Structure 1
Amino acid sequence: MANPVVVGVDGSPSSMAAVGTAAREAALRKTTLRLVHAFGWPSVRPLLGGPPWTPAAAGVRELVDGTLAEAEQRAREVSPPLDIAREVTVGEPVMVLEIESRTASLVVVGSRGLGGFGSLLLGSTAVHLAAHGHCPVLVVRGTPDPVAPVLLAVDGSPAGESAVEFAFAEASMRGAGLLALHVWNTWGEGASVGPDDPLDVVVDVERLREQEQRLLDDTLSPWQRRCPEVAVERRLTRSRIRPALIEASRDAQLVVAGARGRGGFTGLLLGSVSQALLHHAHCPVAVVRGNQ
């Protein structure tokens, strides 16, 4: 049996949506679903000599049990025979889930939990896990079309190989097609793309296009041979990278991206493209770090 799928539960609508997605992922993998609820340490320390703080002492055990029972019910609506485990622990939720990711096949979280400000598009837990998780992290957002393809953001980087593998596996398990989109723009995100593009004056654009096409083909060909059951559409687009991927996510059931692509700084754990998708994609986003 594969390692469990872990989902963070805090009772928010976002986390309950994540439970449903996590249940489907666990069913696809034929593995256990772990419902994890973490208590952050209270801001006020107990009086000197007083008993240590615990969920039971704080009178919230019934509340937690109710939240987890609701989450389990939601999971069983998605997959009745699912093997479900509950975990309640004391600690900062982001650190608890990072630890859980060490022995999970996938961690699923909502885009925003109970602790988030209304104006924030993405909770800190999701961002931290995408950058530091030890397994792929799936952030649930938007309303995906279940018959749409899985969208893979191809960047051609060695670190992105893990994202390619994950995308093919997801498409195969879901019985979905795979849209492999490689967006290129040599002058960077701020440059124009069109008749006035300065790139057209100083370089051979057609040669660059051929190089980018080879990169796309070389990235996908080995995996298409390994996964012949997955119907793959290869798409090469010259555009601004982040807006193009966000727009393409409108017609996808899942976006898969590496944590950091070719243009990232060496020490950067989460690149600008993956961050943009986490904040603005129109469907769930899976961020896959290389060498996990």
Structure 2
Amino acid sequence: MTDRTEAVTTMTFKPVIHVGIDGAWRDAGAVEWAVQEALLRRAALRAVHVIDDRALPVPDELAIDVVNAVGKYLDERLGALDHHGCVAIGSPARTLVSLAAESRMLVVGRRGTDAVRDLMIGSLSEAVAISGTVPVIVVPQQWTPTGRGGPVVVAIDGSDCGSPAVDFAVETANLRKLPLRLVHVWDLPAIYPGDVPSMGEEWWDTAERRLEHLADGLRGRHPDLLVETELRSGHAAAGIVTAATEADAQLLVIGGCARDWPSKLPDSITCGVLRHAGCPLAVVHHREG
């Protein structure tokens, strides 16, 4: 294993899994999720503790202790599988996104869901999820594996940004030997009169046909994968979160178009799901041209 205490500002890009860590890593759940993924994919794991250069220009003893503690845990869990921890200096969100830019995924933790933390979530996990160029997994605080067989749920919106999310969800469901559930939540646009029942029925029928068409294609390409569908109407973010909760989802996957943070406004649906999802959430980007 390489030196855990090395301070770095750049890292050689490899097809590895990156996980962001801090002093609360034991309660965050992110390290455990990253370990599971590394074992399933036989992928290298890099645990990165970023020191904000606006507060501290060099690693301190606490940062080194955090990296060493995580390193010992990874030794126990991963054995000979390639892994190491390091300290990086810079803007936490931008540094994590940069280091993970050519990796398989970036895993970060999410702190709590109370009202104050809902307002503060943008400080890291939201910024990383919105601006990351690789799949970003956001793991709720104190998440632990359940061992239950709930599905991988992927939100379907019909846009060009959705396809990479579906691909990632299929791959994860196959790796974890779980069902895949396609969820589409639609709402009648405000320009249409809400008291015309036929209009809602037409939208429902159209959405149902498109969802089943997508599911049939996946079933044909992945005959060993159980593919389920669920259609809901209402607010998209609330419907997606509710569907994942009721299904006991082991992972919720949503698509997105990566944006520079904070130069562009984040997608409100992505942020709504991010703030309220009770299970690990994968944001899988289609990069804007």
Q: Shorter-chain-normalised TM-score: which range?
A: 0.7 to 0.9
Alpha-carbon deviation of 1:173? 0.7
Question: Structure 1 vs Structure 2: percent identity of aligned residues?
Answer: 32
TM-score by length of 1: 0.80
Which sits farther off after the overlay, 21-30 or 224-233? 224-233
Alpha-carbon deviation of 1:278? 0.7
Alpha-carbon deviation of 1:214? 2.2
Looking at structure 1, the residues matched to 28 and 186 of structure 2 have their Cα atoms a distance apart, in angstroms, of 37
SS of residue in 2 equivalent to 1:89: strand
Looking at structure 2, the residues matched to 37 and 183 of structure 1 have their Cα atoms a distance apart, in angstroms, of 37
Looking at structure 1, the residues matched to 54 and 197 of structure 2 have their Cα atoms a distance apart, in angstroms, of 60
Count of residues paired in the alignment = 262
- 223, 229, 233: which one pairs with 1:234? 229
Alpha-carbon deviation of 1:101? 2.2
Alignment gaps of 5+ in structure 2: 1-13, 258-262
Flag the structure with larger Rg. 1
Looking at structure 1, the residues matched to 115 and 207 of structure 2 have their Cα atoms a distance apart, in angstroms, of 41
Counterparts in 2 of 1:77 and 1:252: CA distance versus 1, 3 Å = farther
SS of residue in 1 equivalent to 2:196: helix
Alpha-carbon deviation of 1:76? 4.5
Q: Please give the per-residue CA displacement for 1:263-292, whole angstroms capped at 9, x wherever unaligned.
A: xxxx96632221111100111111011148
Task: Establish whether residue 8 from structure 1 lines up as the match of residue 20 from structure 2.
Answer: yes
User: What is residue 54 of structure 1 aligned with on the other side?
Assistant: 58
User: What is residue 70 of structure 2 aligned with on the other side?
Assistant: 71
Q: Please give the per-residue CA displacement for 1:76-99, whole angstroms capped at 9, x wherever unaligned.
A: 454444321222222111111111
User: What is residue 272 of structure 2 aligned with on the other side?
Assistant: 276
Looking at structure 2, the residues matched to 182 and 280 of structure 1 have their Cα atoms a distance apart, in angstroms, of 18
User: What is residue 49 of structure 1 aligned with on the other side?
Assistant: none
Counterparts in 2 of 1:14 and 1:279: CA distance versus 1, 3 Å = farther
Alpha-carbon deviation of 1:13? 4.0
Looking at structure 1, the residues matched to 116 and 26 of structure 2 have their Cα atoms a distance apart, in angstroms, of 15
Looking at structure 2, the residues matched to 162 and 269 of structure 1 have their Cα atoms a distance apart, in angstroms, of 21
Considering only aligned residues, what root-mean-square deviation do their CA atoms show, in Å? 2.8
Alpha-carbon deviation of 1:200? 4.4
User: What is residue 4 of structure 2 aligned with on the other side?
Assistant: none
Looking at structure 1, the residues matched to 284 and 219 of structure 2 have their Cα atoms a distance apart, in angstroms, of 19
**Do 1:9 and 1:15's aligned partners in 2 also have CA atoms closer than 8 Å?**
no
Task: Establish whether residue 25 from structure 1 lines up as the match of residue 3 from structure 2.
Answer: no
**Do 2:152 and 2:253's aligned partners in 1 also have CA atoms closer than 8 Å?**
yes
Counterparts in 2 of 1:231 and 1:270: CA distance versus 1, 3 Å = farther
Task: Establish whether residue 87 from structure 1 lines up as the match of residue 86 from structure 2.
Answer: yes
Question: What one-letter code is carried by the residue in structure 2 that aligns with 1:98?
Answer: V
SS of residue in 1 equivalent to 2:124: helix
Task: Establish whether residue 128 from structure 1 lines up as the match of residue 139 from structure 2.
Answer: no
- 156, 159, 179: which one pairs with 1:157? 159
Looking at structure 1, the residues matched to 24 and 17 of structure 2 have their Cα atoms a distance apart, in angstroms, of 19
SS of residue in 1 equivalent to 2:178: coil
Counterparts in 2 of 1:14 and 1:272: CA distance versus 1, 3 Å = farther
**Do 2:28 and 2:139's aligned partners in 1 also have CA atoms closer than 8 Å?**
no
Looking at structure 2, the residues matched to 105 and 286 of structure 1 have their Cα atoms a distance apart, in angstroms, of 12
Looking at structure 2, the residues matched to 14 and 284 of structure 1 have their Cα atoms a distance apart, in angstroms, of 16
- 275, 280, 287: which one pairs with 2:283? 287
Counterparts in 2 of 1:13 and 1:238: CA distance versus 1, 3 Å = same
Counterparts in 2 of 1:83 and 1:17: CA distance versus 1, 3 Å = same
Alpha-carbon deviation of 1:199? 2.9
User: What is residue 53 of structure 2 aligned with on the other side?
Assistant: 41
Counterparts in 2 of 1:18 and 1:222: CA distance versus 1, 3 Å = same
Counterparts in 2 of 1:225 and 1:181: CA distance versus 1, 3 Å = same
Counterparts in 2 of 1:183 and 1:203: CA distance versus 1, 3 Å = same
User: What is residue 258 of structure 1 aligned with on the other side?
Assistant: 255
- 174, 178, 193: which one pairs with 2:180? 178
**Do 2:110 and 2:138's aligned partners in 1 also have CA atoms closer than 8 Å?**
yes
**Do 1:108 and 1:138's aligned partners in 2 also have CA atoms closer than 8 Å?**
yes
Alpha-carbon deviation of 1:70? 1.8
